[in-house]
């Protein structure tokens, strides 16, 4: 099929590359000239394992092309995907302005029957609204069908999630349009759920809200474990062995971040508020997460009283490993707290340093390695569970630091191992191990 992908952010680029990989011809379009120029040269706007290699290969075979011209990209397109950003407004509502702009532009360029697939996460009713918007502005009487095809990929494992996903959701009012999108996706060999537009929109929000609930739930259990002398590692492991609960998303830590969970949970709160439904459970999930992100620094304050004039290493900035994304990352909350306390903060992340510099500027010191960050630090705070951190040379860490004290927000180490290395170790929902001298 000849496919156009509008919007080359995370979802757009990964989806475009994946569709080209299974045999479609995909024209990628974005208004950002710099981004398009760099993509043509094989330079990606973000880090995602395996994606650069895939895109370079597909571009060399011309099955994936890039342009800034929406008009030209529409010529001959059988299906147009929209994957523009739908960021949150300050009040938690969803900013649909990019989607509206693209819909209006498309209406002017569409000259033949076409299917428009919305990938962006949008509130219930938005797909219908976009259909009306396009129909009202079509200069020629052609048929435009709208399909909702929400995205479930995770950053850092995006390609794996696309090719080995649990399901593909296709929402449409017209069964013929749904059938076309089903055929496009068949080579992925992933179960397909065909449903209504409203259901598809709701499935996306409900799934993310449920996963966020799982995380806040296990974090609260971890917080209680600390008080009653239990260990969250054993508790979560045995809970997860119950197939009805499942082992995933039971990793206690300092809360969820990223571009989806915080945004989508707040949006679902808004959506339920609009229909006068008080979603008390989801409100609690969000409140727990906000509090959880402050937990590491609270522990450090409890241990030391004041943190002013202390040299503190923050290890990991990305909202999770294998991405350079720091949107709504717990690290930003942690660093803001530390700076407010008057600490001197040195940060390190294997890939998110450039993004961090754009946000943190000269408020912190930037180290070139984990070791450089730890040198003469009075304590270290672990915020992202990067492999490079988990594979620590602990005796080396101990020697580099002024005081071998670690507050671990992602439970990277076994507390008993830290005791063996004589490192004071505070983690989430597990016993503290103290060093001996
Ligand atoms: C999420 C959804 O998983 C994905 O389906 C959707 O399309 C987009 O949002 P993503 O934000 O990329 O994906 O990351 P994910 O792996 O889900 O992690 C989100 C956050 O939850 C991270 O900050 C992570 O550290 C945290 N998390 C995850 C936990 O704290 N504990 C867990 O057990 C799992």
Per-residue pLDDT of the chain (437 residues; tens, 9 = 90+): 999 999 999 999 999 999 999 999 999 999 999 999 999 999 999 999 999 999 999 999 999 999 999 999 999 999 999 999 999 898 888 999 999 999 999 999 999 999 999 999 999 999 999 999 999 999 888 999 999 999 999 999 999 999 999 999 999 999 999 999 999 999 999 999 999 999 999 999 999 999 999 999 999 999 999 999 999 999 999 999 999 999 999 999 999 999 999 999 999 999 999 999 999 999 999 999 999 999 999 999 999 999 999 999 999 999 999 999 999 999 999 999 999 999 999 999 999 999 999 999 999 999 999 999 999 999 999 999 999 999 999 999 999 999 999 999 999 999 999 999 999 999 999 999 986 65
391 is in an annotated binding site: no
Please state whether beta strands 344-348 and 311-315 pair in parallel, antiparallel, or not at all (unpaired). Answer: parallel
How many other CB atoms are found less than 10 A from the CB of residue 314? Answer: 28
C-alpha 12 – ligand 1 centre gap (Å):
19
What does the alpha-carbon distance between residue 372 and residue 386 come to, in Å, rounded to a whole number? Answer: 16
Assess whether the C-beta atom of 256 lies below 6 angstroms from ligand 1: yes
204-291: CATH topology: 1.10.1040
C-alpha 88 – ligand 1 centre gap (Å):
18
The CA angle 424-426-427, to the nearest 5 degrees, is: 145
Q: Specify the long-range contacts of residues 309-312, CB closer than 8 Å, at least 24 apart.
A: 309/342, 309/343, 309/344, 310/343, 310/344, 310/378, 310/379, 311/343, 311/344, 311/346, 311/376, 311/377, 311/378, 311/402, 312/338, 312/343, 312/344, 312/345, 312/346, 312/377, 312/378, 312/379, 312/380, 312/381
Residue 260: active-site member: yes
Assess whether the C-beta atom of 257 lies below 6 angstroms from ligand 1: yes
The ranges of the chain annotated as CATH 3.40.50.720 are: 2-195, 293-426
Assess whether the C-beta atom of 52 lies below 6 angstroms from ligand 1: no
413 is in an annotated binding site: no
The ranges of the chain annotated as CATH 1.10.1040.10 are: 204-291
- Contact criterion met (CB below 8 Å) for 316 and 385: yes
User: Using CA atoms in the order 265, 266, 269, 274, what is the torsion angle rounded to 10 degrees?
Assistant: -130
Residue 244 to residues 152, 240, 241, 248: CA-CA distances in angstroms?
A: 21, 8, 9, 11
For domain 2-195, give the CATH superfamily.
NAD(P)-binding Rossmann-like Domain (3.40.50.720)
Please state whether beta strands 311-315 and 192-195 pair in parallel, antiparallel, or not at all (unpaired). Answer: unpaired
**DSSP letters of 174-205?**
SHHHHHHHHHHHGGG---EEEE-HHHHHHHHH
Assess whether the C-beta atom of 262 lies below 6 angstroms from ligand 1: no
> 293-426 in CATH: which number?
3.40.50.720
pTM of the entire predicted model? 0.95
192: exposed, middle or buried (Cβ count in 10 Å: 0-12, 13-18, 19+)? middle
What does the alpha-carbon distance between residue 106 and residue 14 come to, in Å, rounded to a whole number? Answer: 22
Q: What is the CA radius of gyration of the chain?
A: 24
- Contact criterion met (CB below 8 Å) for 380 and 406: yes
H helix and E strand count, the chain: 19, 14
In this structure, the residue with its CA closest to atom 19 of ligand 1 is: 256
- Contact criterion met (CB below 8 Å) for 36 and 13: no
**Interface pTM, i.e. ipTM:** 0.97
What does the alpha-carbon distance between residue 52 and residue 46 come to, in Å, rounded to a whole number? Answer: 10
């Amino acid at each position: 099929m000849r496919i156009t992908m509008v919007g080359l952010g995370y979802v757009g680029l990964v989806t475009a590359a994946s569709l080209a990989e299974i045999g479609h011809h995909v024209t990628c379009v974005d208004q950002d000239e710099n981004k398009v120029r760099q993509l043509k040269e094989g330079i990606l706007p973000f880090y995602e394992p395996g994606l650069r290699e895939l895109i370079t290969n597909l571009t060399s075979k011309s099955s994936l092309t890039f342009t800034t011209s929406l008009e030209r990209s529409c010529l001959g397109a059988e299906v147009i995907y929209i994957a523009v950003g739908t960021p949150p407004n300050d009040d938690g509502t969803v900013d649909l302005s990019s989607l509206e702009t693209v819909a209006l532009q498309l209406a002017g360029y569409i000259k033949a029957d076409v299917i428009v697939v919305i990938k962006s996460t949008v509130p219930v009713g938005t797909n219908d609204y976009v259909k009306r918007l396009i129909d009202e502005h079509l200069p020629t009487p052609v048929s435009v069908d709208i399909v909702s095809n929400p995205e479930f990929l995770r950053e850092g494992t995006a390609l794996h999630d696309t090719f080995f996903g649990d399901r593909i959701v296709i929402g449409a009012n017209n069964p013929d349009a749904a059938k076309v999108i089903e055929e496009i996706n068949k080579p992925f060999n992933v179960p397909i759920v065909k449903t209504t537009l409203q259901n598809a929109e709701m499935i996306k929000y409900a799934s993310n809200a449920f996963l966020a609930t799982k995380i806040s739930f296990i974090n609260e259990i971890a917080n209680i474990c600390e008080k009653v002398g239990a260990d969250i590692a054993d508790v979560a492991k045995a809970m997860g062995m119950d197939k009805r609960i499942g082992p995933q998303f039971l990793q206690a830590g300092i809360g969820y971040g990223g571009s989806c969970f915080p945004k989508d949970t707040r949006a679902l709160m808004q959506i339920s508020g609009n229909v006068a439904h008080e979603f008390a459970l989801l409100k609690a999930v969000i409140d727990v997460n906000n509090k959880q992100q402050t937990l590491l620094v609270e522990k450090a304050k409890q241990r030391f009283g004041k943190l002013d004039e202390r040299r503190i290493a923050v290890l990991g900035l990305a909202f999770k490993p294998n991405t350079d994304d720091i949107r709504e990352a717990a690290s930003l909350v942690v660093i803001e707290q530390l700076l407010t306390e008057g600490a001197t903060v040195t940060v390190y992340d294997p890939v998110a340093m450039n993004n961090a510099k754009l946000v943190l500027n000269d408020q912190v010191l930037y180290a070139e390695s984990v070791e450089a960050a730890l040198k003469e630090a009075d304590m270290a705070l672990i915020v992202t569970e990067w492999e490079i951190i988990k594979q620590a040379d602990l005796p080396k860490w101990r020697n580099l630091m002024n005081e071998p004290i670690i507050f671990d927000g992602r439970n990277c180490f076994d507390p008993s191992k830290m005791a063996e290395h004589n490192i004071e170790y505070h983690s989430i929902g597990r016993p503290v191990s103290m060093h001996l001298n």
